Structure 1
Amino acid sequence: MKPRHVLDRRSFLSAAAGAVALGLTGCARGAEPDAALAAAPLASAVPKGTTLVVGDKEHQKAIEFAGLADKFSFRVQWANLSGGPQTLEAFRADALDLGSVADIPPIHSHWTGIPTRIVASKFRQDPLNHTVYRLGVAPGVAVRTLADIRGRKVAYSPGQAQGALVLRVLRKAGLTRKDVKLVELPSTGDVYVTALAGHQVDVAPIGGVQIRRYEAKYGPDGGSTIAHGLRDDPGHLYAPITVLADPAKAAAIREYVRVWARAWRWRETHPDEWIERYYVKDQGLTTADGRWLVDNGGIADIPASWTDAIARHQETIDLLAKETGNKPLKAEDLYDRRYERVAADALAEAGAR
């Protein structure tokens, strides 16, 4: 039998083919554990023999480099995947317990029949000056303000953070979908950069080291990036409610969240080591690229209360529901508040020690 955490191409294709059926049955599938979830206390200890399958590819390295990987009282199986589409398909295939995403995949999971809950949240201090994305502008295209996007071809990825950002940018600029041409493209890898360079699109949200590289490579030809002026900093850990309804896995997730938070602080207090060991040796970037990513990332904000975050999430849900025709959701229902203070308390305890 194939190990539970191994995802091959056939598994993903089968999962995708069954998406419609799952969408019709997903609510019934998740209704029973969902009803009792909030009232079920989290166990203080993880039962022996528990395994947690985690898709948190980048932060896995921080946990290892910080010497925290051997602190778990249960077995962690690392899944080599990340992002909304991959984690959702893994959830569908029952091949993943916990994933790391931005704020759109937890919404999209409910709309596609796989109810999930957020168990940890991280933001950026000074988020408007440390954004995740900038709007890339194709070489020779005269877009210098958000209003200039009118009439342009804009890359759009439904169900992902970049897609929601595009809709929020249009709203801020006083525009609607009808005022631009949305070009549906996956936002993985260098797809958006390639589309900009080839004038397949005029504007696309690009993030991470792609911002620095795009400006350096295409700037001489007239390529540029502009700030969007919006918060785009949410980062979450989320899990299917069927996983959270399992007391052993729910306890393991609590322990994982504590380590997750401590590893974020390690990254911030060991920037040179993180750059060299992860960005340079693991990812093959230059030291300058790594330094840019660290500086642009700012300091992590891991709040003890999710109230403000839930309010912001509700605004995003309402916008997406209006623009996509999906059923409105209550943002509160996307969070498992049993975990609300877990990460912040872990940091406080570590600081006291």
Structure 2
Amino acid sequence: MRKPYRTLTLTAIAAVAVAVLAGCGAPAESTTAAVPAPVGPAELANVTLKVGDQKGGVKSLLTAAGLLDDLPYKIEFSTFTSGPPLLEAASAGAIDIGRVGNTPPIFAAAADAKISVVAAAQAPVADDALLVPPDSPLRDVSELKGKTIGVAKGSSAHGQVLYTLRAAGLSTKDVKLSYLQPADAFAAFGQKAIDAWAVWDPYTSQAQQESGARVLADGVGKTNGYVFQVAGRDALADPGKNSALREYVARVAKAQKWADTHRPEWAAAWAAETGLKPEVTNAATARGVELPVALDDQVLKSEQDLANAFSDEKLLPGTIDFAAFADQRYSEDLRTVREK
């Protein structure tokens, strides 16, 4: 019997994807395209869906919910350090779909990546934190002027930094942004090579639990907290992959709803999948879970506002039309899941 899924590490694939995207920057073309006809069960059984994951989040969620036991297709999970390299891989065709926060699709759109946002969820924003060491003299965001903030470029934390600084009357020009992936930023944070660290769960909870990190500010009242399933356009154009993606995004939405009433079970699966301490995953899930929402005008407008803010800060080359990177072909399937 074949295994329904397996996990890969995509360092090499991410490198290929970066090369594919290098030099991109042309205006975005519309994602409107003919939707392939669905395939039958026999053909679907031969499909291998390549799914990008971050720190085991989606895989552990599906595992805990028992939703990897009856797959009508195969899945290969691949682990990425953050959303931007995941979307680079999706654009290059190295993966078919992956979950990212609110900012990576904006940077991908600015690079004219071959991706489309196909599903949305609302996540808690208290974990979108700007952390400082426990003995830091910093007590207010306004005191960050001239300081160094570690953040993964193009990640949801990048958006959180922008909005948090704006709320304090500052801009990204008033601080030094040190672009670091989470593992490198955690090390720099522990060595006090950076003054603050902008990050998300489970890293926020890990830093609090393991190094006594203090939250200087969080995303409450600032960031929109949206997370997205983002698919590569080549996968969306393929009949077999499109049928698998339709089923997959609905399956993830079901798991998200399940997690809302089964947080301890999800936390345990998350810890088992990643090697994180149970205290970390329990703290992360206690803050809240992602719940599916419609990929509607409200979501698109909020994302456009964020994109415009990045453009205003000259952190994006020009402007983008976020709606041009949204594909609502699975909206009815997802509405059915949300309303159950």
* TM-score category of the 2 structures, normalised to the smaller one: 0.7 to 0.9
Question: Distance in 2 between the 1:257 and 1:14 partners?
Answer: 26
User: After superposition, where does 1:251-270 map in structure 2 within 5 Å?
Assistant: 251-270=243-262
CA displacement at 1:314 relative to structure 2: 0.8
Contact 2:21/2:113, CA 8 A, preserved across alignment: no
Residue 55 of structure 1: aligned partner: 52
User: After superposition, where does 1:86-235 map in structure 2 within 5 Å?
Assistant: 86-124=85-123, 127=124, 130-186=125-181, 188-189=182-183, 191-219=184-212, 224-228=214-218, 229=220, 230-231=222-223, 233-235=225-227
Question: Distance in 2 between the 1:267 and 1:325 partners?
Answer: 35
Q: Which structure's CA Rg is the greater one?
A: 1
Question: Distance in 1 between the 2:267 and 2:12 partners?
Answer: 36
Residue 342 of structure 1: aligned partner: 333
**Structure 2 CA distance for partners of 1:209 and 1:254, relative to 1, 3 Å:** closer
CA displacement at 1:73 relative to structure 2: 2.6
CA displacement at 1:255 relative to structure 2: 0.8
Contact 1:82/1:101, CA 8 A, preserved across alignment: no
Q: Which has the higher helix share?
A: 1
Gaps of 5+ in 1: none
Contact 1:131/1:232, CA 8 A, preserved across alignment: no
CA RMSD of aligned residues (A): 2.9
Contact 1:132/1:232, CA 8 A, preserved across alignment: no
Report the TM-score when normalising by structure 1: 0.81
Question: Distance in 1 between the 2:295 and 2:235 partners?
Answer: 23
Identity %: 24
Deviation string for 1:12-51 (max 9, x for gaps)?
4444344325x16x77xx95xx5641x5376385644333
Q: 2:237 aligns with which of 245, 265, 280?
A: 245
Q: 1:301 aligns with which of 271, 275, 291?
A: 291
CA displacement at 1:139 relative to structure 2: 4.8
Residue 270 of structure 2: aligned partner: 278
Contact 1:120/1:238, CA 8 A, preserved across alignment: yes
SS at match of 2:105: helix
**Structure 2 CA distance for partners of 1:105 and 1:211, relative to 1, 3 Å:** closer
Amino acid at match of 1:177: T
Residue 3 of structure 2: aligned partner: none
CA displacement at 1:217 relative to structure 2: 5.0
SS at match of 1:79: strand
